[in-house]
Structure 1
Amino acid sequence: MIEKREKLLEIENLKQHFKKGETVIKAVDGLTFNIYKGETFGLVGESGCGKSTTGRTIIRLYDATNGKVMFNGENVHGRKSRKELKKFNRKMQMIFQDPYASLNPRMTVADIIAEGIDIHGLAKNKQERMEKVYELLETVGLNREHANRYPHEFSGGQRQRIGIARALAVEPEFIIADEPISALDVSIQAQVVNLMKRLQKEKGLTYLFIAHDLSMVKYISDRIGVMYRGKIVELAESNELYKNPIHPYTQSLLSAIPLPDPDYERNRKRQVYDHKDHEANSENRELREVKAGHWVACTEEEYAKYKDQYS
C-alpha cells in the first residue's frame, strides 16, 4: 500500500487511433488512470490490446490522437520547444521489449550507455563519462570490462541489463518498462525483475510495467490495470485484483495461469470470456469504483450487481 500518494503521471481520456486505408484502428481508446510517485503500476492484457502503444504514447514516441498526459503537472503532448522536450526526455525513460533489437550493434556498450550522458551533457570530460559508465554497469550487475564489448557478445539477460543501465544513465524519475522480460528465459526473468525492484528502492524510481505475464506483474506491481481492446476494464491494488477479480475478462486471464500443482492442474477449469457480450454493451460501460480503490468497467446495471456482490 502506497502511503504518500503524490501523483507523478495523470492520464485522462487518452486515445491513440491509427488509420489504415478507410479503417480506423482504435489501439488506445479513452484511458484514464494515475501513477503515483514511487509505485509500480502494472498494465496487463493479451497481445494487441494496446499496452505497448499506451507506453509509447505516454513517452511521446507517438503523438496522442486525443486526451491528456500530465507528468509532474505539465502536459507532455503540449510541449513544443526542443529544450522542453530534452528536459522531459531526461525525466522519463523506456526499457524496450526486445533486448536484441533495441541496442545498436555497431556501438560499444560504453557508447550505448553514455548516449544519454552525452546528449544531456552530464559528464565534464571523457574520464568522468567512463566512470559513470563503469558505475552503471556495476549497478546492473555487469563488470567494467564489458564496457568495450559489443551487444552480440552478450546473452539476452545481459543485454536487458545494458538497456536498464542506458535508461538509468540520465537519472530519470519515471521508467516505462515495455515487456522487459518477455524475450528472456524464465530463469533470467526473475533476476531482471529483482534488479528493477532493487533499483526502484535505491533510487526512488516510479515504473509503468507493461506485460502479459500476470504472475510476474503481481510480483512487481503495487497496482494493476487490466487492458482489453484499447480500454482498461479493471484497476485495483495487486493483491486485491488477484484475490477478488470482478470483471469477467480479468477472471478469464487469471484462470489461465498455471500453478506447479498437478492436482490443481488436472481439475483447473479455464474461464472463457464472452467477447460478443463486451462488444454489445461497450458504449454503456465506464470505469466505476465498486470497492475502495477497485475500479471496474461496467454498465449501471452491472455496477449495482457488483456493489451488492463485492461490497
Structure 2
Amino acid sequence: MEQEKVLEVKNLQKHFKLGRSNIVKAVNDISFDIYKGETFGLVGESGCGKSTTGRTIIRLHDATGGQVVFNNENVHGKKSKKDLLKLNRKMQMIFQDPSSSLNPKMTVMDIVAEGIDIHNLAKSESDRKMRVEELLETVGLNREHATRFPHEFSGGQRQRIGIARALAVEPEFIIADEPISALDVSIQAQVVNLLKKLQRDYGLTFLFIAHDLSMVKYISDRIGVMYFGNMVELAESDELYNNPLHPYTQSLLSAIPLPDPDYERYRKRMAYDPAEHDTSEEPVFREVKQDHWVRCTTKEFEQYKKQLEKN
C-alpha cells in the first residue's frame, strides 16, 4: 500500500543577501518527502541550513526558489488571509528556545490559548479554560499551572508549554526545531518520549530538526543529513546508521560517544574535508539503493554501490 505524502519539498532554495553582492545560500536546491504519521529527522551541524529549511517550509521565510507542497497545496503560493489561517492551523512549530518563544508578560493560559483564540475554536470562556487545562495535562503539566507566568517554570516545563501551544489548534504536521538542544540531558529524553507519545495518540507527522544524531535515530523513521545548504544523504534511520555512505555522515556518526569505555578508548573521530573528494563534476542527489539517496558524482556513485554490495 502506497504511503500518503503529507509534505513534498521540491528543489527548495532560500538565499539571504548580505551587503550589496554577497549571497548566502542557506538552503540550496533540496528535495524530500514526508509521509503521514512518520517522523522525518533533519540533522547537521550549526549553520548547515536545517532550521532555515524548517522555517521556509512553514512560511516564516519566503522561498527563493522551489516548492513546498502540503496536502497537495502550494505553501508559498498567493493566498488570502482565510487560506493562510487554514494552513497555519494544520502546520505548527515548536521552537528551539522555550525561554524566548514564550511571551513573559502572558500567563500560560493565554499563551496556550493564543491559537484557540485566533481560530475561534472555543465556544465559550469555560470551554477555552477547559481546553487549555486538558492540553497542560496532556503534556505532563498541572491544571494549576495555567495561571502562572513562563519565568516560574524550568526549561523542560517551558518546552512542554510550547508543545501544548502547538497542539492547541489540532495540527496535522509539526516542525520541531531543535526542541531539546536548550535542555539538560536528563530532560531531553522526557521531551522526546512525550513527542513520541503525542504522535501515537494524535496521529501527528513530525519534521524533527536537530544536530544530535543519536537522539534523531531514536525518534525518526527516516533521516536527511544536511551540509552547507545541501542534502547530502537520506535514508531510513537504521540504514543510515548501519551503512553511512557520504563522508560527512560518517564524520557525524564518528562523533557520537557510547557508554562503553573500551569503545571510547579507541574511537576515532573522522574529519570531513570536501576538498579531498571527487571534484570532476557537480554532485547530484542519486538513489544508490532503494530509498537510500546520496549527493555524489558519477564516480562516487559507482564506489558507493560497490561498497553496499560488500556489506
Per the TM superposition, whether the score is higher than 0.5 is: yes
CA distance in 2, matches of 1:4, 1:109: 41
Alignment of 1:41-190 (within 5 A): 41-190=40-189
CA distance in 2, matches of 1:251, 1:130: 49
* CA contact 1:174–1:207 (8 Å) conserved in 2: yes
Q: Which residue of 2 aligns with 1:299?
A: 297
How many positions carry a matched residue from both structures?
308
* CA contact 1:14–1:29 (8 Å) conserved in 2: yes
CA distance in 2, matches of 1:65, 1:283: 25
* CA contact 1:55–1:178 (8 Å) conserved in 2: yes
Q: 2:12 aligns with which of 6, 14, 30?
A: 14
Length-normalised TM-score, structure 2: 0.97
Q: Secondary structure at the match of 2:98?
A: coil
* CA contact 1:175–1:207 (8 Å) conserved in 2: yes
Q: Deviations over 1:140-198 (max 9, x none)?
A: 00000000000000000000000000000000000000000000000100000000000
Which stretches in structure 2 are left out of the alignment for 5+ residues? none
**1:296 Cα deviation from its structure 2 partner:** 0.5
Q: Secondary structure at the match of 1:164?
A: helix
Give the letter for the 1:19 counterpart: K
* CA contact 1:79–1:85 (8 Å) conserved in 2: no
Percentage identity across paired residues of the two chains: 74
1:5 lines up with 2:3 in the alignment: yes
Give the letter for the 1:186 counterpart: V
Q: Secondary structure at the match of 2:285?
A: strand
Q: Which residue of 2 aligns with 1:267?
A: 266
Q: Deviations over 1:193-238 (max 9, x none)?
A: 0000000000000000000000000000000000000010000000
Give the letter for the 2:166 counterpart: A
Q: Secondary structure at the match of 1:5?
A: coil
Length-normalised TM-score, structure 1: 0.97
**1:298 Cα deviation from its structure 2 partner:** 0.5
Give the letter for the 1:96 counterpart: F
Give the letter for the 2:17 counterpart: K
Give the letter for the 1:42 counterpart: G
CA distance in 1, matches of 2:126, 2:244: 53
**1:4 Cα deviation from its structure 2 partner:** 5.1
CA distance in 1, matches of 2:6, 2:181: 26
**1:284 Cα deviation from its structure 2 partner:** 1.5
Q: Which residue of 2 aligns with 1:308?
A: 306
Alignment of 1:224-303 (within 5 A): 224-277=223-276, 281=279, 284-303=282-301
Q: Secondary structure at the match of 1:284?
A: coil
CA distance in 1, matches of 2:303, 2:108: 56
Q: Secondary structure at the match of 1:241?
A: helix
Give the letter for the 1:150 counterpart: F
Which stretches in structure 1 are left out of the alignment for 5+ residues? none
Over aligned residues, Cα RMSD in angstroms? 1.1
Q: Secondary structure at the match of 1:123?
A: coil
Give the letter for the 2:80 counterpart: S
CA distance in 2, matches of 1:298, 1:181: 32
Q: Secondary structure at the match of 2:271?
A: coil
Q: Secondary structure at the match of 1:110?
A: helix
CA distance in 2, matches of 1:132, 1:282: 59
Give the letter for the 2:12 counterpart: L
CA distance in 1, matches of 2:293, 2:242: 14
Give the letter for the 2:168 counterpart: A
CA distance in 1, matches of 2:41, 2:136: 26
**1:301 Cα deviation from its structure 2 partner:** 1.0
CA distance in 2, matches of 1:250, 1:282: 21
CA distance in 2, matches of 1:4, 1:144: 42
**1:283 Cα deviation from its structure 2 partner:** 5.8
**1:277 Cα deviation from its structure 2 partner:** 3.6
Which segment drifts farther, 214-223 or 257-266? 257-266
Residues 80, 282 of structure 1: alpha-carbon distance in 2 compared, 3 angstrom cutoff: farther
**1:281 Cα deviation from its structure 2 partner:** 2.9
CA distance in 2, matches of 1:136, 1:104: 18
